[in-house]
Amino acid sequence: MKLPLTPPRPSNRVYPPGVPGLLGLTSTITAVVVVCGLYFGREVLIPITLAVLLSFLLAPLVSVLRRLRFGQLPSIFVAVLVALVSLLAVGTLIAAQIAQLASSLPQYQAAIELKIETVQEKTIGRADALLTRAASTLARVTPDHAPNPPHEAGRTQKPSAAAPLPVEVHEPMPSPLQLAQKVFSPVVGPIETTFIVLVVTIFILLQREDLRDRLIRLFGARDLHRTTTAINDAATRLSRYFVAQLGINVGAGSLIAVGLAIIGVPGALLFGVLTALLRFVPYIGTWIAAALAAILAAAIQPQWSMAVATIVLFVVVDVVAGQVVEPLLYGHSSGLSPLAVVVAAIFWSWLWGPVGLVLSTPLTLCLVTLGRYAERLRFLTVLLGDQPALTPAQNFYQRLLADDPHEAIVQAERLLKEMPLVQYYDDVAREGLRLARNDALRGVFAPDQLSRMNETLLDIVENLEGAENPLAPPPLAPSSPLHGSADGSKASAGEDPEADSDTPMQLLPGMRVVCVAGRGAFDEVATAIAVQLLCRRGLPVFAAHYAQFRKGSIDSASIENAPILCVVTLDASEAPPYLRNLVRRIRERAPSAALVVGVGGLSERDDETTSLSGTINANGFGELVDQCVHAATNAAPLPPRLVENTG
């Protein structure tokens, strides 16, 4: 009787992502509106932003004063007064230094002109001479122009135009009101901004608790514990960072000012203040101030020694502040990636000018910190933060998809400096293989791509064969009586032979391990990893394919003499029917052998597989190796709960 053929199973397809709909359009429009609002509302937003950042700086001082039994209002006014005095002192210092530098420039006029002439002679002069020689060469090889025709006889020339009469414009004397407006108009803007900043800061500090409650209501009143923890953590982090950064910047600026004064650069205090302000922009802020100081030092001295000394001073101060002081105070990083700092500096400078350049890093840091707790702003943390965007396992799988085994090997070598090989295989390779296996089950890989990925993975495993593993336990000694008690008896079940002696554990006579790969897409790679780890522990290992253990083709001779059998598959957690049948066939052929099933870990509900006598569940490569080593040196298997990853 002919049975009807089953219809062909349609192949799985990976469809491209859908076109962004209304949500994507709304997000784009919102971003454009926000940027336009930041640009056109900068006259109002800049003082408010400065007030918010100033409140973060003054909050610790207000808290200290309140702990000293000052009232809330006196504490706030004292803190704001300190800030006002500091701002006035800095502004007065900058104005005085600029006036002094402008008045002293005529003294260096001759040196500046000589240095400009030297630079022009070395650069523009050489280029001009080269162009002149090229023009003369072209003139020699090109024909002369025809001579101009002579003036016709008898024709009179026009008389030249008369010389223009000089005209002088005399402005009337300005009135006292016009004179006062001309004098005070440049400072009205900064004074107005300072007043707005101080007033807004006072109200922010007065209503800190009320603003906190409003933020909690805004970001999530349903989960008060999580929202309160997030807001307190963000406020504490930002306050500590700004205070520490301000202290470091003031210290660096003071050292720069003292150093430049010793070197002899005019306006040393001005460049010290500029350094303190521009250091709020990491990576590039210090070098903007250094470039300005070096240009001035090179211009006022005929030699270059002052400019070189200035650059050396900035290098030394920046290295000490960035590599020694900052890590001690708040870690090695500000929480922003270097590219994010540069992009933020460009963006905020375009929006708000020089003020935006100084505020770029604090503002971006506030957004990144807020993105850690606000779900809708999480993308800012991913784009601008310094944390890896992908986990090591995801990165491993992504490099595999990109057909870049070299980068995967480089990542492995970098991680192996921090973890043993077995932990790398468990935490990185196994999780990456699980991601690949899930995609393979969905049918997203073509057969040739799947074969190429397996070959690449086997090459990576082979490349890690010689990786140093100083944290790994010593290999097992060859066959000899097991150490333990004085009469040479074997250790009891569940006891660790390494606990009582430093002598290397020794194999029982005739021990060998047979590793059988499952039929999953990447089970052969997992088997190769298990074989490598077992060989590093000194166990004789033989690998076998799933096809050798199919029904009707199982070779009993290859496993009946093997005391330890391992079924290595990533499908163990699902316990598919083929795996149950494979374990049953192996157990029927080798009933007395120790059977370890890993590395995915059998499900606790899979009673049919785990109930087979002598079947050991291993969740991970480390546990599989531990179980095999224990079975090779002891009569009873190691309880799974007592297993610890080797390495």
Of the two residues 224 and 249, the one the predictor is more confident about is 249
In this model, does residue 202 exceed pLDDT 50?
yes
Strands in 513-517's sheet, in edge-to-edge order, are: 541-544, 513-517, 564-569, 594-599, 615-617
pLDDT, tens digit, 9 for 90 and up, residues 455-504: 999 999 998 887 765 555 556 555 433 333 333 333 333 344 343 434 44
What tokens appear for 148 in the block?
A: 């101009």
Mean pLDDT is highest, among 159-168, 212-221, 317-326, 372-381, for 317-326
In this model, does residue 96 exceed pLDDT 80?
yes
Of the two residues 301 and 635, the one the predictor is more confident about is 301
Mean pLDDT of 423-451: 89
Using a pLDDT cut of 70, give the percent of the chain over it.
74
- Angle in degrees, 0-180, between the axes of helices 338-371 and 224-263, rounded to the nearest 10: 150
Cα three-residue angle 161-166-170, rounded to 5 degrees: 155
- The secondary structure of residue 594, as a DSSP letter, is E
Of the two residues 644 and 53, the one the predictor is more confident about is 53
Neighbours of 175 (CB within 10 A): 9
Residue 552 pLDDT: 58
Of the two residues 393 and 138, the one the predictor is more confident about is 393
pLDDT band with cut points at 50, 70 and 90 for residue 646: very low
Task: Give Cα separations from 445 to 168, 218, 289, 403, 521 (angstroms).
Answer: 86, 45, 55, 13, 10
Q: Find the range with the poorest average confidence among 199-208, 332-341, 385-394.
A: 332-341
Q: Find the range with the poorest average confidence among 150-164, 512-526, 610-624.
A: 150-164
- Which residue is it, tokens 């409003």? 214
- Of 66, 47, 45, 67, nearest in space to 55 by CA: 47
Extract the runs of DSSP E, i.e. beta strands, from 476-612. Answer: 513-517, 541-544, 564-569, 594-599
Beta bridge partners of 599: 569
- The secondary structure of residue 125, as a DSSP letter, is I
In this model, does residue 17 exceed pLDDT 70?
no
Q: Find the range with the poorest average confidence among 225-234, 267-276, 334-343.
A: 225-234
Residue 475 pLDDT: 60
In this model, does residue 190 exceed pLDDT 90?
no
d(CA 34, CA 380): 15
Of the two residues 440 and 282, the one the predictor is more confident about is 440
In CATH terms, 503-642 corresponds, of 3.60.15.10, 3.90.1260.10, 3.40.50.280, 1.10.3210.10, to: 3.40.50.280
d(CA 66, CA 72): 6
- CB burial of residue 78 (10 Å; 0-12, 13-18, 19+): middle
d(CA 638, CA 596): 11
d(CA 255, CA 314): 9
Mean pLDDT of 342-348: 88
Mean pLDDT is highest, among 82-91, 98-107, 141-150, 486-495, for 82-91
Mean pLDDT of 352-361: 86
pLDDT band with cut points at 50, 70 and 90 for residue 81: very high
pLDDT, tens digit, 9 for 90 and up, residues 280-290: 887 788 889 99
d(CA 296, CA 264): 11
Residue 332 pLDDT: 53
- Of 248, 273, 269, 252, nearest in space to 260 by CA: 269
- Which residue is it, tokens 């000293």? 68
- Which residue is it, tokens 């298997």? 637
pLDDT, tens digit, 9 for 90 and up, residues 227-260: 777 777 777 777 887 888 888 999 999 999 999 9
Let me know: does 518 contact 544? Beta carbons within 8 Å: no
d(CA 486, CA 476): 20
Half-sphere exposure of 64 (CA within 13 A, CB side): 7
d(CA 25, CA 28): 5
Is 600 in a helix, a strand, or coil?
coil
pLDDT band with cut points at 50, 70 and 90 for residue 19: low
Mean pLDDT of 515-543: 88
Beta bridge partners of 543: 515
- Which residue is it, tokens 């610890």? 644
In this model, does residue 311 exceed pLDDT 90?
yes
- Of 283, 280, 286, 275, nearest in space to 253 by CA: 275
- Of 485, 487, 479, nearest in space to 506 by CA: 479
Using a pLDDT cut of 90, give the percent of the chain over it.
15
d(CA 38, CA 257): 35
Position 495, amino acid: E
- Of 467, 503, 468, nearest in space to 482 by CA: 503
pLDDT band with cut points at 50, 70 and 90 for residue 2: very low
pLDDT, tens digit, 9 for 90 and up, residues 139-183: 766 655 555 555 555 555 555 556 676 767 667 777 777 776 776
Position 232, amino acid: N
What tokens appear for 415 in the block?
A: 């991680």
What phi, psi does 593 have (nearest 5°)?
Answer: -80, 155
d(CA 515, CA 511): 13
Residue 555 pLDDT: 60
Mean pLDDT of 300-327: 87
Residue 492 pLDDT: 35
Q: List helix spans (H) across 264-331.
A: 268-278, 285-300, 305-320, 326-330
Of the two residues 377 and 392, the one the predictor is more confident about is 392
Domain ranges in the chain are 245-384, 392-466, 503-642
Mean pLDDT of 380-403: 87
Mean pLDDT of 191-204: 89
pLDDT, tens digit, 9 for 90 and up, residues 565-614: 888 888 766 667 888 888 888 888 778 888 888 787 555 545 555 555 56
CA 96 to the chain's CA centroid: 42
d(CA 69, CA 475): 67
Residue 10 pLDDT: 44
Q: Give the mean pLDDT of the chain.
A: 77
Residue 386 pLDDT: 80
